[in-house]
Amino acid sequence: MTTPQPPPKTGGGAVRDSFGDLPLLKQEGAGGWSNVAQANKPETINMKKQITVTVNGQAHTAEVEPRLLLVHLIRENLNMTGTHIGCDTSSCGACTILLDGKSVKSCTILAVQANGKSIATVEGMCAPGAPLSNLQEGFKENHGLHCGFCTPGMMMRATELLEMNPDPTEDEIRWGISGNLCRCTGYNNIVKAIQYASAKNRGVEPASTEPQFV
Amino acid sequence: MGHSMKRKEDARFLQGKGNYVDDVKLDGMLYMDIVRSPYAYAKITKIDSEAALKVPGVLAVVTGRDLETYGLHWMPTLMSDTQMVLPTDTVMYQAQEVAAVIATSRYAARDGREAVRVEYEPMKPVIDPFKALDPSAPVLRTDKPGKTDNHIWHWEVGDKDKTEAVFSTADVVVKEQMHIPRIHVASIETCGCVADYNKIDNHLTMYMTTQAPHAIRTVIALVAGHVGLTEEKVRVIAPDIGGGFGGKVPVYPGYVIAIAASFLIGKPVKWIEDRSENLQADSFARDYHITAEMAGTKEGKILATRFKVLADHGYTDASANPSKYPTGMFSIATGSYDYGATFMEADAIYTNKPPGGVAYRCSFRVTEAVHAIERMTDRFAFEVGKDPAQLRIENFIKKEDFPWHSPTGWIYDSGDYEAGLRKAMDAIDYEGLRKEQVEKRAEGKLMGIGISTFTEVVGAGPSKDFDILGIKMFDSAEIRVHPTGKAIARFGTKSQGQGHETTYAQIIAEELGIPAENIQIEEGDTDTAPYGLGTYASRSTPTAGAAAAVAARKLRDKARKIAAYLLEVSEDDLEWEPGKFFVKGAPEKAKTIQELVFAAYTNHPQGMEAGFETTHYYDPPNLTFPSGAYICVVDIDKETGEIKVRRFVAIDDCGNIINPMIVQGQVHGGLTQGIAPAMYEALVYDEDGNILNGTLMDYLVPTAVESPNWETGHTITPSPHHPIGAKGVGESPTVGAPPAIANAIVDALSPYGITHLDIPITPFKVWKALREKGVV
Ligand code: FES
Ligand code: FES
C-alpha cells in the first residue's frame, strides 16, 4: 500500500494531549459560544421576526432571521428534510414546494415571505403507512426515480402541472417540468409517471408500466 | 431474474424519508464554510481572520498553517500524487480552498467566510496544456523537489513499429485532432459530510457522500492514523446518495478539513458544498486532447489506428483510476473492430485548473476512447465513400472470434456486434432514413444519421492487475439468513440510485429461492458491511453481484447437506428447484429452503456448523465487455445551426439482465448524460484561469426538453465467466451516445466538406462551420 504524504509531525501515544491548547479556536468564554454572538450582534441581521406558516395542514410558528430562506425553514427549523437543495442559482428545482397551491422554488423565497401562507411538501403527499398518492405511485410503477434526490421537487411541480392541465401531452409535460433537473433518469420515465397519475386522476386506466423495448 | 420487479428503495424516497448527508442532524453540530481563491495561481501573502472571528457564531478559522502543525495540510490522491488540503503559501486554481470557517450555524459560517480577508500576489497561470511544456512556462509543482517541468507521466501501449509500417503503406489514412472537453458530473446532490469525532471514545463517525466508503475509511486511517484515527476508530457511513457518477469517489479537501475541525473541537461538523463550489472545485472528467489516425484499404478494411493524447490533469493527478492504468481503460480504443495494429500514447500535464479525472458515468476513460474510435470509423467510411453501417459490419470482430485478444492486451469475453447493429438498423428503419436523406439533401435540407457501435470494458477488476492505492479491486457480499428464512445481505458497494436494494435481492432470490421481498439489502456502513471497493465504473453487478450469487450458492450447498440429513438420502439423490430440494424421482419428498434454514438453527446435523450465513469476496477472472449499437437522427436548421435530435435508438448488450426495468432506466439516464457532453456541457476557462460557467445557470445540464424520447432495446450475449452471465450497464450509454450524436451532426454537414466538430456541438459551432464553408 502506498504510504501517504506527509510524515507525522506529532508523535507518540499521547495523541489527544498534543492538541491541548487548540490554537485554532477562539477562547470559549464563560458563557460559551452564545456569549460571543451576543457581544457582536448586528441589529439588522439578528432582528428576528415571528412568522406562522401552515405546512401540510399543520400550523407552525417560528422566530426567524429575515434573511432565512424558506427551504432552510422547512428543512432545518421544521425538520422536514424531504425538500432538497441542489443549487444556488434557482436552477435545479430540487427545492420545489407548493406555496398557496403554486409551485415555487423554496430556495428563492425568504421564510418571512411565507408568513401566513400555506405550504405543501412531499411529506404531505400521503400519511405514513397510507397508500401512495397517484403521482407517487406513478413514479414507483414507472421507475421515475433513481437516486430520489430530484423526486420530491419533481412531484411537487407535477402536482401543480396536473392541476392546471389534467391531461397534458408529452410535450406539455416536458416543458412543464423543465425547471426541474434530474441527472439520473433521462426523463422518459418521469414523463410516464406523470402520464400515469394524470390517467388515474381522471379515472382512466393508465398505460402499461412494463418497460417497452424496440 | 429477468423480472421488472418494482424497486424496494422507492418507498422512502417517494415520501420524503430518504436520508441524505444534509439530512443528518446531530446534537451540538457545527457548520463549516470554505473561503476560496479568486485567482488561478497566486501567492498567499496574508490571511486575516480577525474580522471573521468577531462574527457572531464563528468559532474558528482554519488555515493551511494550522493544519501543517499536525501534518494534515497535504494528502495523497488516488493516483499517488499529492494534493493540498489547505494551502500554506500558494493557490493553484480558481476556487481552491484557502481557509475554513467553523460556526454554530450555516448562516454564521457564511458570514464568517465573507469576513476572512486574504491577500494574494497573483501570478501568470498555465491554462493551455499545449503551452504547459514550453520551456518558458513556469514550473507549477515547486513543492516537488527536482521538478523541472509540468509533465506528469508518459504512457504507451501497442506496437509502434508495426503500426508505423501499416500506416506508411496503407491506401487511405485519415486524421483528426479532437478535444473531449472538461465536464462535470453535477449530480443533483452536491458533496458534503458530517464529521463526528467523539473525544471520549477517540472515535470518528464520518457521514459522507461517498461511492466507496470502505476505501475512504482506509484512506482516512492512512492520512490521519498518526494523530490517533486508526482504522478501527473510524466508521464511514454513506447514507442515501443523490447521484454519484464518479464525482463522489475522490476525497475532497472539505472532507478532511471537516474531520480536522471535529477532531480539534470535539463536536460534529457539517460541511455541504453549494453548487457553484461543486462545479468549480470538485473533480472534473475528461479533458483529453486526442490526435486520432486510422489507416485502411480503399475498399474500407480498417488496418491500424494511432492515438496520441495530451491529458490536462489540473494541478495534481487526482484521477480515479486503477493504479496500473494512468489512462484508465483508454486502450479499449481499438473498438469493436478486427485489426491487429495499434499504437497509443499519452502525456499528462499539470495546469492551473482544478484536479480530477473522474468518471462522469464512464468506466475509466472509456468515453474518450470510444469517441475517438467511433468518430474515426465514420471519418474513414466517409473517406472511402462507404456507408458507415456497412463498413462497420465488414470490420466487426465476428461473434465466433470470442474470446477475442485485442492488440492492446484485453480479452473481450463475448459479443455479437452485428446482431446489435442490425437490430438498431431495423428499429430505426436505416434504409428508409438514408433514402429520406437523399431527398432532403436534394432540397438543400440538413439531415444526418449517426452510428456508434462501441465496446465497453467494465467490472474492475481481476486482482492481478487492478488495485486502487494498493487495495485489490474485488468486491464482497455477506448473506445472513435468519431462522424463519428471511435474510439480510450486505455489500462492499454503494448504490447512488442504481437500485441495488432491488437487484441484489433478485440475484439472491434467484440463487436461493427466498423471495426478494424477504431479503433486506444494506450497504454503505463500514462497521457492518464487508470490505469492498465501492460502486463506480459499472462494477457492482460484475463484482458484488457475482459475490452475491457465489455466496448464495455456498449457502445452497449447505442447504443440500441439511436436506440430505433430514430426508435421509445421499446428497447426490437430491435435486434443486428454486426454493426447495427434493428427492430425484420422488418430488413429494422435499424440503423448502425455509425449512432447511430453520433446521440450520434448530436441528442441524451433528458436526456441522450451526447457522446459515456466509461471506464471499469475489475476485473476477476477467473484466466484462458490454457493447451497444446506437443510431441517432438529427435535423439541422441551416440558418440558425439549431440541432434537433429527431430519434435515438439504443440497443445495448449487457449480457443477462437481472431487472429489465432498472437496466432500461440506467440506459435512459446514461443517454441523457451522453447527449449532455455531445451538445451542451463543457467547463470553460479563460486565459487567466477564470471559470466562465461555474454555476447551473450557465453549465447546461439537459432538462426534459433537451432530452429526446429515448428508444431502447437489447441483445443478450452472456458473459461466459460471470456467475450469472451479467456484464454491467450503467455507463454504456454515456460512453456510446456522444459519438452517435457527433457522427449524425457531421453526417448532416458532410456535403459541405465538414469532417469533424469537437463536442459539445452547439448551434453556434454548426452555424460558424457552415459560414466558414461559404454556406449562407
Ligand atoms: S435548490 Fe436548486 S432551484 Fe432551489
Ligand atoms: S433521480 Fe437522481 S436526480 Fe433525479
pLDDT digits (tens, 9 = 90+) for A10-42: 333 322 233 333 334 443 333 333 333 334 445
Flag whether pLDDT at A61 surpasses 50: yes
B129, three cell numbers = 496544456
DSSP B218-235: HHHHHHHGGGT--GGGEE
User: What is the C-alpha separation between B290 and B315, in angstroms, rounded?
Assistant: 20
Which H/E stretch holds residue B237? strand B234-237
- Determine, for residues A84 and B470 on separate chains, whether the beta-carbon distance falls below 8 Å: no
Residue of chain B nearest A27, judged by CA positions: B59
Neighbours of B567 (CB within 10 A): 17
The CA R_g of chain B, rounded to the nearest whole Å, is 27
Neighbours of B124 (CB within 10 A): 13
Distance from CA of B119 to the nearest CA of A (A): 20
Give the phi and the psi of residue B597 in degrees, each rounded to 5: -65, -45
User: What is the C-alpha separation between B567 and B558, in angstroms, rounded?
Assistant: 14
pLDDT digits (tens, 9 = 90+) for B499-518: 999 999 999 999 999 999 99
pLDDT digits (tens, 9 = 90+) for B63-111: 999 999 999 999 999 888 999 999 999 999 999 999 999 999 999 999 9
Which H/E stretch holds residue B382? helix B366-384
For the purposes of burial, counting CB atoms within 10 Å of the CB of B169, is it exposed (0-12), middle (13-18) or buried (19 or more)? exposed
Q: Testing the interface with A: which of B61, B70, B188 to mutate, by most A Cβ within 10 A? A: B188
- Determine, for residues B56 and A37 on separate chains, whether the beta-carbon distance falls below 8 Å: yes
Q: ipTM for the complex?
A: 0.97
Please tell me whether residue B140 adopts helix, strand or coil conformation.
coil
Please tell me whether residue B395 adopts helix, strand or coil conformation.
helix
- Determine, for residues B53 and A26 on separate chains, whether the beta-carbon distance falls below 8 Å: yes
pLDDT digits (tens, 9 = 90+) for B155-189: 999 999 999 999 999 999 999 999 999 999 999 99
User: What is the C-alpha separation between B532 and A186, in angstroms, rounded?
Assistant: 29
Average pLDDT of chain B to the nearest whole number: 96
Please tell me whether residue B364 adopts helix, strand or coil conformation.
coil
A121 contact B CB<8A: yes
Look at residue A19 in the predicted model and tell me its pLDDT.
32
Please tell me whether residue B266 adopts helix, strand or coil conformation.
coil
A123 contact B CB<8A: yes
B183, three cell numbers = 465536464
User: What is the C-alpha separation between B449 and B657, in angstroms, rounded?
Assistant: 29
| Percent of chain B scoring above 70 in pLDDT | 100
**Residues B728-763 as b or e (16 or more Cβ within 10 Å = b):** bbbbbbbbbbbbbbbbbbbbbbbeeebebbbbbbbe
Q: What is the mean pLDDT of residues B606-624?
A: 96
A10 contact B CB<8A: yes
Give the CATH number of domain A46-124: 3.10.20.30
Q: Is the CB of A85 under 6 A from ligand 1?
A: yes
Interval between CA A182 and ligand 2 midpoint (Å): 5
Look at residue A3 in the predicted model and tell me its pLDDT.
36
Neighbours of B411 (CB within 10 A): 14
Question: Which residue shows C-alpha cell 429461492?
Answer: B513
Q: Specify which residues B302 forms β-bridges with.
A: B296
* Banded model confidence at residue B236, pLDDT cuts 50, 70, 90: very high
The closest alpha carbon to A151, from B10, B707, B523, belongs to B10
The crossing angle, in degrees rounded to 10, of helices B546-567 and B500-512 is: 30
| Percent of chain A scoring above 90 in pLDDT | 77
CATH 1.10.150.120: which residues of chain A? Answer: 126-203
Look at residue A46 in the predicted model and tell me its pLDDT.
65
B275: left (phi over 0), alpha (psi -120 to 50) or beta: alpha
Look at residue A32 in the predicted model and tell me its pLDDT.
31
Q: Are B351 and B683 in contact (CB under 8 A)?
A: no
Interval between CA A98 and ligand 1 midpoint (Å): 14
Give the phi and the psi of residue B772 in degrees, each rounded to 5: -65, -25
The closest alpha carbon to B151, from B140, B143, B162, belongs to B140
For the purposes of burial, counting CB atoms within 10 Å of the CB of B29, is it exposed (0-12), middle (13-18) or buried (19 or more)? middle
Q: What is the mean pLDDT of residues B219-238?
A: 92
**Can you give the pTM of this predicted structure?**
0.94
Which member of B83, B94, B211, B496 is catalytic?
B211
User: What is the C-alpha separation between B228 and B220, in angstroms, rounded?
Assistant: 11
| Percent of chain B scoring above 90 in pLDDT | 95
* Contacting residues for B108 by C-beta, under 8 A, at least 6 apart: A37, B31, B55, B56, B57, B58
Q: Which of residues 126-185 of A touch B (CB under 8 A)?
A: 126, 128, 132, 136, 139-141, 143, 145-152, 155, 170, 173-175, 177-185
Which member of B374, B510, B595, B731 is catalytic?
B731
In the annotation, is B706 catalytic? Answer: no
Neighbours of B311 (CB within 10 A): 25
Which member of B361, B375, B392, B539 is catalytic?
B361
Q: Are B485 and B452 in contact (CB under 8 A)?
A: no
The closest alpha carbon to B471, from A205, A1, A204, A210, belongs to A1
DSSP-based helix, strand, coil % in chain B, nearest 5: 30, 25, 40
Q: Are B343 and B168 in contact (CB under 8 A)?
A: no
* Amino acid letter, residue B759: I
Q: Where is average pLDDT lowest: B69-73, B371-375, B386-390, B635-639? A: B69-73
Q: Is the CB of A182 under 6 A from ligand 2?
A: yes
Q: Is the CB of A150 under 6 A from ligand 2?
A: yes
User: What is the C-alpha separation between B742 and B372, in angstroms, rounded?
Assistant: 11
Flag whether pLDDT at B362 surpasses 70: yes
Distance from CA of B508 to the nearest CA of A (A): 21
Terminal Cα-to-Cα distance of chain A (whole angstroms): 48
pLDDT digits (tens, 9 = 90+) for B265-310: 999 999 999 999 999 999 999 999 999 999 999 999 999 999 999 9
Total residues belonging to chain A = 214
Q: Are B689 and B41 in contact (CB under 8 A)?
A: yes
Class of domain A126-203: mainly alpha
* Contacting residues for B506 by C-beta, under 8 A, at least 6 apart: B1, B3, B5, B516, B658, B659
* Contacting residues for A208 by C-beta, under 8 A, at least 6 apart: none
Look at residue B441 in the predicted model and tell me its pLDDT.
98
User: What is the C-alpha separation between A42 and A30, in angstroms, rounded?
Assistant: 21
Shortest-distance ligand to the CA of residue A97: 1
User: What is the C-alpha separation between B59 and B546, in angstroms, rounded?
Assistant: 49
Please tell me whether residue A120 adopts helix, strand or coil conformation.
strand
Question: Which residue shows C-alpha cell 458436526?
Answer: B607
Q: Determine the distance from the C-alpha atom of residue B473 to the mean position of all C-alpha atoms in its chain, rounded to a whole number.
A: 15
pLDDT digits (tens, 9 = 90+) for A62-118: 999 999 999 999 999 999 999 999 999 999 999 999 999 999 999 999 999 999 999
Where is pLDDT greater, at B168 or B540?
A: B168
Our CA angle for B721, B735, B156, nearest 5°, is 80
Residues of A in contact with B73 (CB under 8 A): 6
* Banded model confidence at residue A45, pLDDT cuts 50, 70, 90: low
Torsion of CA B362, B365, B366, B367, to 10 degrees: 70
Flag whether pLDDT at B572 surpasses 70: yes
User: What is the C-alpha separation between B683 and B407, in angstroms, rounded?
Assistant: 34
The crossing angle, in degrees rounded to 10, of helices B417-428 and B388-395 is: 160
In the annotation, is B211 catalytic? Answer: yes
User: What is the C-alpha separation between B504 and B521, in angstroms, rounded?
Assistant: 7
A60, three cell numbers = 407552525
Q: Are B686 and B692 in contact (CB under 8 A)?
A: yes
Flag whether pLDDT at A43 surpasses 80: no
Look at residue B284 in the predicted model and tell me its pLDDT.
96
In the annotation, is B361 catalytic? Answer: yes
Q: Are B690 and B40 in contact (CB under 8 A)?
A: yes
CATH 3.10.20.30: which residues of chain A? Answer: 46-124
Interval between CA B509 and ligand 2 midpoint (Å): 27
User: What is the C-alpha separation between B429 and B444, in angstroms, rounded?
Assistant: 22
